[in-house]
Amino acid sequence: MILALNTAQPIHELALLSEDEVDHSCKLIQELTWPEDRKDVENLVPRLQELLDNAGATKEELTAIVVVKGPGSFTSLRTGVAFANALAEGLGATHPMDLFEMTTFEALARKAATADPLLVLLPAGGLDAGLFHGEQLQVGPLSTLLATLPHDPSFKVAAQLGETLADELKSIALEKEWHVLEAHEFQTLGEALQTLGLRGLKKVSIVEPLYLKGPKITMSSDPWKQPRA
């Protein structure tokens, strides 16, 4: 069985899927979602157990883990990635275990489930955004990132932005005749994996979290806590 984990988005997800040994297609067995609550350190283990109990399964039956590695909220993302790495290492000591990663951009693109031209946008801190389009990632002011892209009603936009950037995106999309996907138009992570399987996912030995910008760390004014030269 395959476990999928996403703590990179505001709605966190756990999904359990089976994989056909012949054509490697996936079937969604059970999934669990909850809003980000900054308690993932305490809650990931019981939530995984709840998922397995609902499916009548055990973690020893897992043969692969898929984790969304970011970008996303620093604490939630770091916790989810560390949890997936530890689980894969622990289970891998007793039986073969595959570990796959995808970025949040890839996750949103899969959830959008469209063959139309797609722009994927995520916040990058302040008024900057990250744009994934045509296999390329760019980071900068939203208006600058989108300025040279064409007016084309076939374009769709998958975005997870704060209120200010979301309002700016709506204005740009209206002018360029793009369709900004609404929440109800997205699949869940489990549904997306059921649709596309594991094709295109990168197999790794350990997942490293991805951030568009490093976290802001305030240095202490206490001279005893300053880094030594």
Task: Give 196's contacts (C-beta < 8 A, 6+ positions apart).
Answer: 110
The backbone region for 83, taken as left when phi is positive above 0, alpha when psi lies in -120 to 50, beta otherwise, is: alpha
On the question of pLDDT at 218 being above 60, the answer is no
Q: Please tell me the predicted confidence (pLDDT) of residue 177.
A: 98
Inform me whether the pLDDT recorded for 158 exceeds 80.
Answer: yes
163 by Cβ neighbours in 10 Å (0-12 / 13-18 / 19+) ranks as exposed
How far apart are the C-alpha atoms of 154 and 156, rounded to whole Å? 7
The closest alpha carbon to 118, from 136, 139, 92, 102, belongs to 136
| Whether 122 contacts 129, CB under 8 Å | yes
Q: How confident is the model at residue 215 (pLDDT cuts 50, 70, 90)?
A: low
DSSP-derived letter for residue 164 is H
CA distances from 41 to 6, 80, 171, 227 (A): 14, 8, 39, 28
What pLDDT does residue 126 have? 87
121-154 pLDDT, tens digit each:
999 988 899 999 988 999 999 999 999 999 999 9
Angle 43-47-49 from CA coordinates, rounded to 5°: 125
Q: Please report, rounded to a whole number, the percentage of residues in the chain having pLDDT higher than 70.
A: 93
Q: What is the pTM of this model?
A: 0.90
Q: What's the mean pLDDT in 108-120? A: 96
> What local confidence, expressed as pLDDT, does residue 77 receive?
93
- Band the pLDDT of 227: cuts 50, 70, 90: very low
Tens digit of each residue's pLDDT (9 = 90 or more) over 48-80: 999 999 999 999 999 999 999 999 989 999 999
Distance separating alpha carbons of residues 33 and 25, to the nearest angstrom = 23
CA distances from 120 to 17, 65, 103, 109, 172 (A): 26, 24, 11, 7, 14
**Domains of the chain: residue spans and CATH:** 2-104+187-204 (3.30.420.40), 114-184 (3.30.420)
Rounded average pLDDT over 113-122: 96
